[in-house]
Chains A and B, each alone.
Chain A
Amino acid sequence: METITSAPETPSAIQQQRLQFVLQLADTSLVLGHRLSEWCGHGPVLEQDIAMANIGLDFLGEARSYYQYAAELEGAGRTEDELAFLRAATEYRNPLLVEQPNGDFAATVLRQFLFDSYHLPFLEALRAGPDEKLAAIAEKSVKEAAYHRQWSAEWVIRLGDGTPESRRRLDGALRDFWRYTAELTTPAPAETALADLGLAPNLDDVRALQQAHIAEVFAEATLPLPASGVAQKGGKTGRHSEHLGYLLAELQYMQRAYPGLKW
């Protein structure tokens, strides 16, 4: 039988997309928060070690709120912990940027800057959206994200307009990470479907704000804006770099080795 018109979105299909979207946000915050936590005890100076641990903690808190909401949307009895600790790398929906290894301090700063420049306008859009739960989480996180963005922008300026060595390292980080920037504002299928219904932020608007912030800070850091170049993506649809598996192996070890462990 020939299908003439596409079927309208059924409630359960929309529900499934909302779940995917919330899981994507949860995974993104958890993976980036975990990367930042890896700096704990290894920072270049104590104050920045503490700063990265603090920022990581904010992301962990944001991730928990999203996972709790995802568990509620799924309605299958899975808890926030099961969603975080018992899903495989291919089920994770975070963009590739946040799973990239820390590298040196300049690399971590740049990864954070590229993310923060997206995160703040994204949360501001989410806060204004119709989903009350997501709006509440965004309202809480947006204040934290403003502090993060200030921290990472100031460090990009210090390192970019700093010594030849700091500049060399930041240039290297830019070569490594720039290709992952576009994925942040390239919608996954669930984001496209929800944005069409007004249920998720329009990422074109977020990208414009992100690019304006990057241009402003790079100008002050005396960094030339890279040409668009190759954009690497796939994380939002479950196709990850090899790094995520190692990260999850460490993150999930206790629950995998001792299922149901509580403390």
Chain B
Amino acid sequence: MVNSGGGTVAVTEAQVWGWLADVSDPEVPVLSVLDLGIVRAVRLDAASGHLTIVITPTYSGCPAMDVIGTEIRLRLAAEGIGPQQLTLENQLSPAWTTDWLSAEGRRKLTAYGIAPPAEQAAGRVRALFGDSPVVQCPHCGSNQTQLLSQFGSTACKALYQCQDCREPFDYFKCH
């Protein structure tokens, strides 16, 4: 139960997860915070009705985190859950990984023109040069693509170019 002004509103954790699906990443608006895997826990205290949401940043310096926090607060405020009833916790460990992107998230990324991570981040060993995975062009589907820079338009993306259609594109890099 969550107290909201005069009356009380019955809320379940499942409902909260449903509302969070409406909150999108400001830098990749086709992805919800759930697709990204950055919501780590939703805890509803049955006695007090207090709600705790645990989120984790994609990158240490991700400038979107403050905006995402505000968007979550606004979405829940629309359901009558005010700032006194909500705690947003920022958790660093376990560190976010692209392995947590949902299958639906990967599909949405491709449709949006961003190539999803091409390999598992877990257990990945990096060498110098030449260890780039095969990344498929999200525009024409070609596998003939080339890494232009490991650091792209945002912290989570690398910059690639397709050798066939010549279009540059963002790649959501393994992390």
Enumerate chain A interface residues (CB-CB to B < 8 A): 33, 47-48, 50-51, 53-55, 57-62, 64-65, 132, 135-137, 139-141, 143-144, 146-147, 150-151, 153-154, 157, 217, 220
* Chain B residues, CB < 8 A from A60: 60-61
Residues of the A chain whose Cβ atoms lie less than 8 Å from the Cβ of B97 = 143
CB contact under 8 A between A143 and B95, given known A59-B61, A61-B60: yes
Interface residues in B86-104 by Cβ distance below 8 A to A read: 92-97
- In angstroms, Cα B63 to Cα A140, docked, is 15
- The reply to whether B175 and A50 contact each other, CB–CB distance below 8 Å, is no
Hey, which chain A residues are within 8 Å of B126, CB to CB? 146, 150
Q: Which of B94, B152, B155 has the most CB of A within 10 A?
A: B155
Q: Which of B150, B152, B159 contacts A151 (CB 8 A)?
A: B150
How far apart are the CA atoms of A153 and B128 in the complex, in Å?
7
CB distance from A235 to the nearest CB of B (A): 23
Apart from A47-B159, A140-B96, list 4 A-B contacts with CB within 8 A. A57-B59, A140-B60, A143-B121, A157-B128
B60 partner, pick from A62, A150, A153, A220, beta carbons under 8 A: A62
A137-B92, A139-B93 are contacts. A217–B175 as well, Cβ < 8 Å?
no
Docked CA distance A207–B32 (Å): 43
How many A-B contacts at CB < 8 Å in the complex? 80
Alpha-carbon gap, A24 to B130, bound state (A)? 36
Nearest chain B CB to A215 CB, angstrom units: 14
For residue B153, CB closer than 8 A to chain A, the reply is yes
Give chain B nearest CB distance to A214 CB in angstroms.
13
The 9 closest A-B pairs by CB, nearest first: A61-B61, A61-B60, A136-B93, A51-B151, A47-B149, A54-B151, A57-B61, A136-B92, A140-B95
Please pick, from A48, A57, A151, the residue contacting B63 in the complex, using a CB distance under 8 A.
A57
Report the separation of the CA atoms of residues A141 and B95 in the bound assembly, to the nearest whole angstrom: 9
Partner of B59, one of A58, A135, A153, A157: A58
Which residue of A33, A47, A137, A139 is within 8 Å of B94 (Cβ)? A139
Given contacts A47-B159, A150-B126, whether A144 and B59 have CB atoms under 8 Å apart is yes
